[in-house]
Amino acid sequence: MSPDVPNPAHPAPQELLDQEARLALPHCSDADALWIGRWLLDAAEARGLVVAIEVWRGSRLIFRAARPGTNAHNDVYLAGKRRVVEHFGHSSFYERRRHEVHGSSFEAATSFAFPEFAPHGGGVPLIVRGTGPVGVALVSGLPMEADHALVVEALEAFLAANPD
């Protein structure tokens, strides 16, 4: 793949930051977080995806589902991705990519190790316009770029249903 052609498996860190800005929500209540979780589960069921899903609003778990075929290993990834997003305020995929493009790794650059911190795609902050991060949506079970893409798709669907 040419370096000028975007690669979803290896997006530039700035692309991920731009995506976060584009996905800023007009609001995020408990009901909104539940809507996002249900959308993720409906999409996973319709597509036959083997994933575990969590949606947090602040320190409160609003939605959790584990599709058949997932296991405790997925739970470890969900927890580690959540810690990355909550600590840095950006997607877990961004935190991985921002160090990779500089020839380092998340662990080497931060001293935060797996499983406590999991810098893998699939943890995306729930950012409210004018407020900042208020929660996190998480998926585990697919390749990390696909975990990330599924959460992005859910946030795009939420924005389409809630334009203002």
Kindly give, in sequence order, each residue whose CB lies less than 8 Å from that of residue 34, ignoring residues fewer than 6 positions away.
Answer: 55, 62, 63
Helices of type H across the chain: 13-22, 30-47, 72-88, 92-100, 106-110, 144-161
- How far apart are the C-alpha atoms of 37 and 44, rounded to whole Å? 11
Instruction: Look at residue 163 in the predicted model and tell me its pLDDT.
Output: 84
Q: How far apart are CA 122 and CA 141, in angstroms?
A: 9
DSSP output for 77-89? HHHHHHHHHHHHS
Nearest CA among 23, 47, 21 for reference residue 141? 47
Residue 7: the pLDDT is: 58
Closest CA to 149 of 44, 68, 25, 56: 44
Name 77's Cβ contacts closer than 8 Å, sequence gap at least 6.
115, 118, 120, 122, 140
Residue numbers of the chain with a pLDDT score lower than 50: 1-6
DSSP string, 26-53: S---HHHHHHHHHHHHHHHHHHT---EE
Contacts of 66 (CB under 8 A, 6+ apart): 52, 53, 74, 75
**What pLDDT digit, counting tens, does each position of 62-80 carry?**
999 999 999 999 999 999 9
Alpha carbons 135 and 56: distance in angstroms, whole number = 5
Give the domain 13-161 fold. Answer: Beta-Lactamase (3.30.450)
Q: Which amino acid is at 27?
A: H
